[in-house]
Amino acid sequence: MNQQTNKNHEKLALLQSVKLLTELNESDFKILAECLYKVEINKDDVIIHEGDVGNCAYIVSKGQFSVEKFNHILTIFSSGDIFGEVALLDDRPRTATVRAKTAGVLYRLDRIKLENNKIISADIRAKLYKAFIKQVTSYLRQGNDLYDEMDVLIIQDGGCAPGYNPVTAFISEYLEKISRRVYIAAEGFKSVVSNQVSDYRCLIYSKERFNQMDHIPGVIFSPPLRQERGAEFRSERYREFIDESIQKIAAKNIVNRKVKVLIGIGGKGTFAGTNALSKLLPNTIQVFFIPVTIDSDVSGTACIGEYTGVEVGAEKIRCYMADARTHRRCYIIEMMGARGGYHALHACLGAGAHLAVLPSSKYNMNKLVEALNPREETVIVVAEGYQSEKRKEENYQGNAAEYFRDELVAAGLDTKQRVICEPFSRDIRGAAPNNMDIMLAHRMARKLREQILAGESRVMPAVETEREYSLSFDDINTDNSVATRLASLANRLY
């Protein structure tokens, strides 16, 4: 068998291995093989430049070739794959860059040959066009490999709070501007454990970049998140993540996805999960945490969400106060505050309610009853964590507000006011973030960028008035408390 025969045999074998060309027969393959031109490729050679107008397509014989947009690897082509086929259909600019990941061999098909009736019959050309159009409209092939190497991965988890979305948008903006690629888990820690392609999203801040990639599943344009309520990418407290064996699965998946920067966003539980992961990951992966929590349960910093929470909570209390005056009622309202009671206290103070009952509160119930009995209108705010351990021990089925009411009744409450207990109002979690929380999200994202560039890890950006600094994971306290002197302001009954 001579050299030319070997070349023809190699071309035919390659064409017959291309899944896209299943409608061609042996005779068609022989004709098409005559149109192919062999190209030897070195590693890192750029075969196609994004934006150039092309006039040929390529079939991979040997090697691996990456499709890239703005430093994102969208997919990998290997033996039997075709790329650049759009150039055989029209004169549109190339939509991506194709680079050789390894040395290899390509066979080039020029449009001028494909359109030559003396070389390719109309029947064969019709079959090819049909195959190419099918290939062009099938963009799913670009989705999977986009998530093989996730440069920066964000994980949101825990209870919803105003500010999750804004800080995510600002992180996307700041990091994209220093050429980092930002991804996010669709459902917090749960998604990182599941680790399917559908468990992740790619965040794009630049409109130009998004327009180039919006056809790819999971690609999200992040700027609108700056004003969005709630948290788009989180799970409802994935409690199984407390298990170290589950954490190890997540850590392994993070390493396999080639993550370089991991960012946890949330409250106490999310910090615990992020901190646990940081101890299972290699030191080459930078790990950070950003506090988003209505109850400000991370001390040493302002927390994103606390300003909106207090503002919305105080307005709800004002409404109860107006109704209490009108109808001579005593409202006992449960509000957020599992440990420190920051939210309940500050919302109470801002609205001018009559009493704040915090998780650490110890009131003389007889004295409170003496003050309450002759009143005609009262609003009491009870933090959800009040007497939590005692309620658990007693298997008490009611909420914190009801428990406090029962304590008052046991102490002799006898008032003409109608006593009404209101449960914790979860709509605060879905409030639109106010300007203070959006500004705080902005500042923390900027500080995070500085920490990444400085090579820091296992730290949290912290903000107090004009000061921005870093807190080590080892120094973060998630049992935040409120000042006793401040709490004393929230008793207007005596």
Q: What is the pLDDT along the chain (494 residues), one digit of tens a residue?
A: 455 556 678 889 999 988 888 889 989 999 999 899 999 999 999 999 988 999 999 999 999 999 887 667 778 899 999 999 888 888 878 878 999 999 999 999 999 998 898 889 999 989 888 888 777 666 545 566 789 899 999 999 988 899 999 999 999 999 999 999 999 999 999 999 999 999 999 999 998 888 777 777 789 999 999 988 989 898 667 889 999 999 999 999 999 999 999 999 999 999 999 999 999 999 999 999 999 999 888 889 999 999 999 999 999 999 999 999 999 999 999 998 888 889 999 999 999 999 999 998 999 999 999 999 999 999 999 999 999 999 999 999 999 999 999 999 999 999 999 999 999 878 899 999 999 999 999 999 999 999 999 999 999 999 998 899 999 999 998 876 677 778 888 899 99
pLDDT the model gives residue 327:
96
| Cβ atoms of 404 and 344 closer than 8 Å | no
**DSSP label of 260:** S
Which among 265, 275, 272, 277 is positioned nearest to 234, based on CA atoms? 265
Task: Tell me what pLDDT residue 273 has.
Answer: 96
E strand or H helix that includes residue 61: strand 56-62
- CA 90 – CA 386 distance, rounded (Å): 70
Which 3 state secondary structure label does DSSP give 218?
Answer: coil
Sketch out the chain's domains with CATH numbers. Answer: 3-140 (2.60.120.10), 146-304+433-475 (3.40.50.450), 307-430 (3.40.50.460)
Rg, Å, the chain Cα set: 31
Per-residue CA distances from 186 to 8, 183, 194, 492 (Å): 49, 9, 11, 46
* C-alpha span between 266 and 246 (Å, rounded): 19
Q: Are 321 and 375 in contact (CB under 8 A)?
A: no
Q: Which two tokens stand for residue 119?
A: 């070389």
How far, rounded to the nearest angstrom, does the alpha carbon of residue 213 sit from its chain's CA centroid? Answer: 18
- For 361-417, give the DSSP string: ----HHHHHHHHTT-S-EEEEEETTTTHHHHHHTT--S-HHHHHHHHHHHTT---SS
Please name the residue that has the structure tokens 């590693």: 43
- Which pLDDT score is estimated for 69? 73
How far is residue 170's CA from residue 442's CA, in Å, rounded to a whole number? Answer: 6
Predicted local distance difference test score (pLDDT) of residue 227: 86
pLDDT of residue 1: 47
